[in-house]
């Protein structure tokens, strides 16, 4: 099955017209060169990439650098709201953005399984190009390896990112203070439930879409309003529970959240109820958690709500001197429960 329009696309497959990846596409010879020339370069087009050196050379960056990397192994490769390509760009952009950096450049490495559809690879690469353009970053260098059938899983992508850190900006759990506000940009659990629904063939009244998105625009706006944000994190694997537990344990303070203030979409809540899952443990790919001084919290939330990715932003709790290193949720009925760091994860291969 292919959704590529071969009529209008420019060189959608390498010149030799293989419909599928063969081992030679990773061999460093003619087939590799054709894949680069006819698939990757037309999609990612920029001067640094087109020089096709062993490394891309980019202009000087005046300031500290932020470096990050993530491997993407999500299954299925395509899901409501996105695909592995969107995730591979947005996830790495977000890791830079939550570190306080402005994302600039990405690298992209592919590990393909022999027999993988080149039309699917084209779709993935096109989504990466689109995501990079939306986030305002360039994919400047890459690599492709091919493994024999049965020794991989279609397509794995690893991206690395380089960003620029503005002078004086310093984020980290060590800056957290009792009384600080815990702020969330939007609803929890959408990405994980989107993946799970496709994978398990679950049918709900409403399809849940992944929230995959690049957060650097929203985060830039947040710094304009509140330059002294203590720490930011995108709650991916392990969900909000993992993020808040990491903050609490590394800061040495407690965190108290109010469950009824955490936005959860109706379709996500229905799926979680049915499957016995906790939305706070489920991965998100387009949300940010911020800890900020209480005095700036209302102003910050107001600004976030003006941004398309922060419309449901809310203050969901505060840092406390009580129960140090622990995260405690107050439930709607006034009870409280300890939110633990998950040991493994509820849903493997969600990113």
Binders of a copy of itself in range 173-232 (CB under 8 A): none
One DSSP character per residue, 12-27 reads -S-TT--SB--GGGGT
Between residues 293 and 342, which has the closer beta carbon with respect to a copy of itself? 342
**Nearer of residues 71 and 295 to a copy of itself, judged by Cβ:** 71
CB of 338 to a copy of itself, least distance (A): 15
SS3 assignment, position 34: helix
Minimal distance, residue 344 CB to a copy of itself, in Å: 2
Contact 83, 128 (CB under 8 A): no
Residue 70 contacts residue 189 (beta carbons within 8 Å): no
CA angle (282 as vertex; 330, 69 as ends), nearest 5: 125
The SS3 of residue 319 is: strand
Window 43 to 62, contacts with a copy of itself (CB under 8 A): 48, 51, 53-62
**Considering only residues 97-126, where is the footprint of a copy of itself by CB under 8 A?**
98-99, 101, 105, 107-111
Segment holding 222, helix H or strand E: helix 216-225
Taking the least distance from each CB to a copy of itself, the nearer of 21 and 267 is 21
DSSP strands (E only) in 263-311:
289-292
Which of residues 2, 11, 19, 28 is near a copy of itself by CB under 8 A?
28
CB of 232 to a copy of itself, least distance (A): 8
Q: Is residue 89 a contact point for a copy of itself (CB under 8 A)?
A: no
Instruction: Please report how close the Cβ of residue 200 comes to a copy of itself at its closest, in angstroms.
Output: 15
Touching a copy of itself, residues 132-151 (CB under 8 A): 140-148, 150-151
Buried b / exposed e over 48-75, threshold 16 CB at 10 Å, is bbeeeeeebeeeeeeeeebebebebbbe
Query: Which residues 269-308 are close enough to bind a copy of itself by CB under 8 A?
Result: 283
Q: Among 9, 11, 47, 71, which residue interacts with a copy of itself (rule: CB under 8 A)?
A: 71
Tell me how far apart the alpha carbons of residues 215 and 136 are, in angstroms, rounded to a whole number.
Answer: 11
């Amino acid at each position: 099955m292919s959704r590529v329009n071969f009529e209008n696309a420019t060189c959608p497959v390498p010149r030799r017209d293989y419909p599928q990846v063969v081992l030679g596409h990773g061999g460093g010879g003619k087939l590799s060169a054709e894949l680069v020339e006819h698939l990757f370069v037309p999609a990612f087009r920029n001067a640094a990439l087109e020089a096709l050196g062993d490394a891309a050379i980019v202009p000087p960056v005046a300031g500290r650098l932020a470096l990050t990397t993530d491997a993407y192994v999500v299954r299925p490769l395509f899901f409501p709201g996105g695909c592995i390509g969107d995730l591979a760009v947005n996830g790495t952009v977000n890791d830079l953005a939550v570190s306080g950096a402005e994302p600039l450049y990405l690298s992209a490495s592919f590990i393909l399984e022999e027999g993988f559809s080149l039309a699917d690879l084209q779709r993935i690469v096109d989504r990466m190009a689109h995501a990079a353009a939306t986030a305002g970053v360039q994919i400047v260098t890459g690599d492709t390896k091919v493994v024999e059938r049965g020794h991989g899983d279609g397509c794995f992508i690893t991206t690395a990112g380089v960003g620029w850190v503005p002078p004086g900006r310093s984020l980290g759990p060590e800056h957290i203070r009792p009384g600080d506000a815990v702020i969330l940009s939007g609803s929890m659990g959408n990405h994980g439930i989107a993946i799970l629904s496709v994978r398990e063939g679950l049918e709900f009244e409403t399809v849940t879409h992944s929230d995959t998105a690049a957060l650097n625009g929203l985060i830039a706006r947040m710094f304009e309003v509140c330059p002294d944000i203590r720490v930011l994190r995108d709650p991916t694997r392990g969900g909000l529970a993992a993020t808040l537990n990491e903050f609490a344990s590394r800061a040495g303070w407690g965190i108290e959240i109010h469950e009824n203030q955490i936005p959860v979409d109706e379709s996500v809540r229905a799926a979680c109820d049915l499957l016995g899952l906790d939305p706070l443990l489920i991965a998100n790919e387009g949300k940010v958690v911020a800890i900020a001084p209480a005095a700036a919290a209302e102003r910050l939330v107001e600004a976030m709500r003006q941004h398309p990715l922060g419309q449901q932003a809310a203050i969901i709790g505060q840092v406390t001197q009580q129960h140090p290193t622990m995260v405690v949720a107050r439930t709607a009925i006034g009870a409280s429960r300890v939110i633990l760091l998950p040991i493994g994860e509820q849903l493997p291969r969600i990113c």
